[in-house]
Structure 1
Amino acid sequence: MILSEEQLQGLLDKSLAELPDGTEWSVVLEGSIAEGFGNPSSDIDFLLIGRDEHDLPTMPSLLFVDGRRVEIRTRSVRQIAEQFGVLDAGAKRPGRLSEDLLNRCQRLLHSHPLRGHALIETVKGMLPVERFRTIAADWWAHHARHSLRHAMALLCLGEGDEAADWARAGLVQAVKSWAAGRGETYLEPKWLSLQLDRADRPEIRDRYWELEAGAPVAGDAEAARAYLSACLAFAADLGITGVPWRPERLTVERAARVTTWQTGPQVHVVRGMREVFALGDRAGTVWRSLVLGRPLPQVLAAAEDTGVAEPGPLLAAFLRYGLIRLAWKGGGTITPSLPLAAPPGPLTPPPTTARPVLSLRGAAVSGPDAIDLVPLPAERFAAAGMAVVWSNVVAENALEDLRGALQRGQWKVAELAARRAVHAALRGLFSAHGINPLPADSDLVRRMGLLPEDARPLRARAEQLLRRTIDSPRTGDAVRTELHAVVDLVRQSAGADAFPSSFDSADTWRATLELGYDWLRIGAYLDAQLPIEEARDLLASSGTQPHPAV
């Protein structure tokens, strides 16, 4: 060790002097210095072991003693026994073992006793070191296997640079597994060079460093393939099983709680019933080509048959976002992860800035390859989409009422119909920008500051229409002309310019029902509030009118 026994005892005395009196501790030095690594910048890590049954805090106390940083951690004998028990019981499923649990157990087992040697010996005897070596080696082997399989999949998908990075990660994990089986169980990879030196197998050490230094240059697909092949071969030589070059054993599977919904041609993918991804044209085409449960090479070939050039990166993005998952035939889901790094899990991109957020056709997308995260929770997205459709139905109905009232000279009826049409159009505009729940109709104009700058000029025209009176055919025609102009502008701004004239004919009403049904299906799935109670009947009738004979 880089510190003598006398120096360690002196640091311990000064550290304990800063802690409350009254507890008799057994003490070990753990961490890199206890392992025989370390340098002048390394922490002094003391673990204090108490005989009581209380839960002692996990968080360390940080002290500064004689110019060195000292971490004080505490554990009761009961807590240590529980840690070892959980580790031993979970060893058959290494992928589920907590990295922190493994690290805590390793540091104690390889610690240097300073005080209370008898208790420390008893505590360490709860889990034999040889048993821990096997557990640690299996844990690293599990991660190596998954990293290398993931690298294989990425290479098939044309993501050579990322594949090389994961191959490099698998390389580290494979050699750490090999070293752990020989007693070098310290988890932190930064001391790997010293661990390999102590393992006294120069041929293994040299081959590892040769591969570690030989990672390919970015953009060289052939070099990435050669590099992965070399890493797979070395991992197999180190005893890592289940990593042959067999892409056909990779299968594309359904991810839990991921569903697909379309509104017209627009594809939406809902993740976990909370997040909505909107797919661009090319991304949607590749998504619709998926036949889950098939080997990855077949899935890739089917995507290529759609006419989309180089669909691999899109499939890789679906995988990154957790919209699909990969499995190894006979080996379960592939879950790559990097120890001592961010926990594994689906990537969540920043929400799209496309505006308006949605239209009749679905969520806005930024381009043909887009896999855009909609900046609304899934339930609000569905509610806003249904509101866009229904507000336009109401606007159409109000315009029809206005026409009929003007024909009969019913001026007050016409005024109310015009105001209703303005409010309905504005509700559609607000909904298209993701505002849900909506302001009250009487407050819509005043809240137009919530909308983007380019939508705000409509405020003056809407305010003027809401104040207009109708007392003659001349004023009625003027209001009707201005109202149609404002409704058209709102629909253009909200992406509803193609809305059918719902009440003109049976065909336009059927087109309206089809639009509404697409959104109602999503809303019902997400348990969003339906715009009107009658919408439940539209759902029950699968998007058709409930009464006519089929």
Structure 2
Amino acid sequence: MILTEDRLQDLLDKSLAELPRGTEWAVTLEGSIAEGFGNPSSDIDFLLVGRREDDLPAMPSLLFVDGRRVEIRTQSVRQLADRLRAVEEGAERPGRLSEDLLNRCQRLLHSHPLRGHALVEEVKAMLPVERFRRITAGWWAHRARQSLRHAMALLCLGECDEAVDWTRAGLVQTVKSWAAGLGETYLEPKWLSLQLDRAGHADVRDRYWELAATDPAAGDAEAAHAHLAACLAFAEEVGLTGVPWRAERLTVERVAGVTTWQTGDRVHVIRGRREVFALGEDSGAVWRSLVLGRPLPRVLAAATDTGVADPGPPLAAFLRYGLIRLAWKGGGTVTPALPLAAPPGPVTPPPSTAQPLLSVRGAAVGGPGAVDLLPLPADRFAAAAMALVWSNVVVENAVEDLTGALRRGQWRVAELTARRAVHAALRGLFSAHGVHPLPADPDLVRRFDLLPPTTGPIGAHAGELLRRTVDSAQHGDTLLTELRAYIGRVRDTVGAGSFPLSFDSADTWRATLQIGYDWLRIGAHLDAELPIEEARDLLACNGAQPHQAL
């Protein structure tokens, strides 16, 4: 150790002087200095062990003693025993062993007793060091397999730079597994060079550093393949099993809670009933080509047959966002993870900034290859989209009523139905921008601060129309002309320019029902608020009218 026993005892005395009195502690030194590593900047980690019945905090107290940073942790014998037992019980499923749990136990088992030696050794004996070596080696081996399999998948998808990063991760994890089997179980990789020197196998050490120094050029797929092949060969040489170069053993699998919904040409993928991803034209074609359970190379080939020039990036995005998962035949789901890093799991990208968010044909996207996360929870997304569709139906109904009122000279009826059409169009505009629940109709024209500034002219136009009166056929015709222009303006803004003239014919009504049904299916799945009660009947009839001849 870089500190003498006397120096450690002196630091311990001064540290204990700053703690409350009343408990007899056994004390052991943990961490890099206890391992024989460390440097003048390394902190001093004292673990105080007591025969206490109550749980003691895992969080350390931080002291500064004689220019050294000292961490004091307190744990009861029972707490330490529970941890050691959890490691032993989790050995058969290393993927579920947490890094923090393993690290805490490793530090204890390799600690240097300073006081109460008998109690410290009693606790250590609960998990023999040889057994812990095998568990730690297995834990690192599991992680190495995951990283190397993931790198293989990324190369298959054409993501060579990311594959290089995961190859490097797998290389570190491979040599850490090998070193752990020789007793070098300290988890943090920062002391790896000293661990390899101490392990005493110069051939393995030198080959590792040779591979670690390899740096394939960015975008060089051939070099990335060669680097992974060399790392896989090294892994086999040091005893890591389960990672032959066989990409066909990687299969694309379903993820629980991920569902697909299509409206028009737009594909929406809902993750965990909470998040909605909208897919661009190319990404949607790749998604529709998926046949789950197939080997990754076959999935990639099928995606290429869709006409998408490079289906690898969309597939990689689906994998990254947890919309699909990869499994290794006989080895379960591929879940790569790095030490001392963010926990593994699906990435959640920043929300899409497309405006407006929704159209009657589907959510807005940033381009053909987009896999965009909508900035709305799934139930609000569905409710807003249903409100958008329903607002357009109401607009069509109101315009039909207005036309009939003008023919009959019913001027007051015409005024009210025109206002109804204005308000319904505004409801569609607000819904398309994700506003839900909506403000009350009279308040809509004053709430344009909720929308992008570019919609301001629509608000001004709506205010003018809401103040119009009708007392003659000429005024009525002028109002109808301006109202149609206003509706067209709103619909162009929200992507509803092709909305059917719902009440013009049987065909246009059928088309309206189909649009509504597509969105109602999503809303019902998410238990979202339906726009009207009759919508349930449309669902029950699978998008058809309830009363029609068979």
TM-score range, shorter chain: over 0.9
| SS of 2:447 mapped into structure 1 | helix
Match status 1:109 vs 2:113: no
Deviations 1:415-465 (A, max 9, x none): 110110000000000000000000000110010111101101112221121
1:88 Cα offset (Å): 0.5
Under a length normalisation based on structure 1, what TM-score does the superposition of the two structures give? 0.99
Unaligned runs of 5+ in 1: none
Q: CA deviation at 1:253?
A: 0.5
How far apart in 2 are the matches of 1:154 and 1:121?
47
Q: C-alpha distance in 2, partners of 1:501/1:416? A: 21
User: Residue 252 of structure 1 contacts residue 292 of structure 1 at CA under 8 Å; is this kept in 2?
Assistant: yes
Distance in 2 of aligned mates of 1:204 and 1:54: 47
Q: C-alpha displacement at 1:471, in angstroms?
A: 1.5
Q: What is the aligned partner in structure 2 of residue 512 from structure 1?
A: 512
2:258 is aligned to 258
Give the % identical residues.
77
The one-character-per-residue Cα deviations of 1:12-54 (angstroms, maximum 9, x if unpaired) are: 1111111111111111110000000000010100111111111
For residues 176 and 434 of structure 2, the distance between their equivalents in structure 1, rounded to whole angstroms, comes to 50
Partner of 2:289: 289
Task: Kindly state the Cα deviation for residue 272 of structure 1 after the two structures are TM-superposed.
Answer: 0.8
Equivalent residues in 2 for 1:67-82 (5 A)?
Answer: 67-82=67-82
Distance 1:117 1:549 in 2: 90
1:167 aligns with 2:167: yes
CA–CA distance in structure 2, aligned partners of residues 326 and 485 of structure 1: 52
Letter of the structure 2 residue corresponding to residue 334 of structure 1: V
Letter in 2 for 1:440: A
Aligned to 1:362: 362
Structure 2 distance, partners of 1:349, 1:485, is: 38
Q: What's the offset of the Cα at 1:215?
A: 2.9
1:220 and 2:220 correspond: yes
Q: Distance in 2 between matches of 1:514 and 1:102?
A: 56
2:11 is matched with 11
- Residue aligned with 1:376, SS: strand
User: Residue 2 of structure 1 contacts residue 36 of structure 1 at CA under 8 Å; is this kept in 2?
Assistant: yes
Q: Give CA deviations for 1:45-90 in whole Å, capped at 9, x if unaligned.
A: 0111111111100111111111111111111000001001111011
Question: 2: distance between equivalents of 1:90 and 1:549?
Answer: 63
In 2: Cα distance, 1:339 partner to 1:541 partner:
54
Matched-pair contact (CA < 8 Å) for 1:27–1:47: yes
Q: Report the number of matched residues.
A: 550
Equivalence map 1:11-50=2 (5 Å): 11-50=11-50
The 1-side partners of 2:79 and 2:143 are apart by 27
Deviation readout 1:462-485 (Å, 9 max, x if unpaired): 112112111211111121111111
After TM superposition, the runs of 4+ consecutive aligned structure 1 residues lying more than 3 A away are: none
Which residue in the other structure is 2:275 paired with?
275
Matched-pair contact (CA < 8 Å) for 1:184–1:199: yes
Q: Which amino acid aligns with 2:42?
A: S
Look up the match of 2:94.
94
Report the equivalent of 2:330. 330
Q: Which amino acid in 1 is paired with 2:165?
A: D
- Answering whether residue 486 of structure 2 is matched by residue 486 of structure 1, we say yes
1:320 maps to 320
Q: Which residue of 1 aligns with 2:131?
A: 131
Deviation at 1:408, TM superposition (A): 1.0
Amino acid at match of 1:487: I
- Partner amino acid, structure 1, of 2:521: R
- SS class of match (1:123): helix
Equivalents in 1 of 2:107, 2:14: separation in Å? Answer: 23
Measure the CA separation in 1 of the matches of 2:474 and 2:159.
Answer: 67
The residue aligned with 1:64 is 64
Q: Which residue of structure 2 lines up, in the alignment, with residue 347 of structure 1?
A: 347
**TM-score normalised by structure 2 residue count:** 0.99
SS across alignment from 2:74:
strand
After TM superposition, the structure 1 = structure 2 runs for residues 456-467 of structure 1, keeping only pairs within 5 Å, are: 456-467=456-467
The whole-number CA distance in structure 2 between the counterparts of 1:258 and 1:139 is 30
Structure 2 unaligned blocks of 5 or more: none
Task: Please give the alpha-carbon distance, in whole angstroms, between the structure 1 residues aligned to 2:153 and 2:449.
Answer: 48
What is the distance in 1 between the residues matched to 2:28 and 2:462?
A: 76
1:534 maps to what in 2? 534
SS at match of 1:374: strand
SS of the aligned residue for 1:401 comes to helix
Check conservation: 1:168, 1:215, Cα contact below 8 A: no
Q: Which residue pairs with 1:311 in the alignment? A: 311
CA RMSD of aligned residues (A): 0.7
Structure 1 residue matching 2:152: 3-state secondary structure:
helix
Q: Deviations over 1:232-285 (max 9, x none)?
A: 111111111110001111100011111110011001111111111111111111
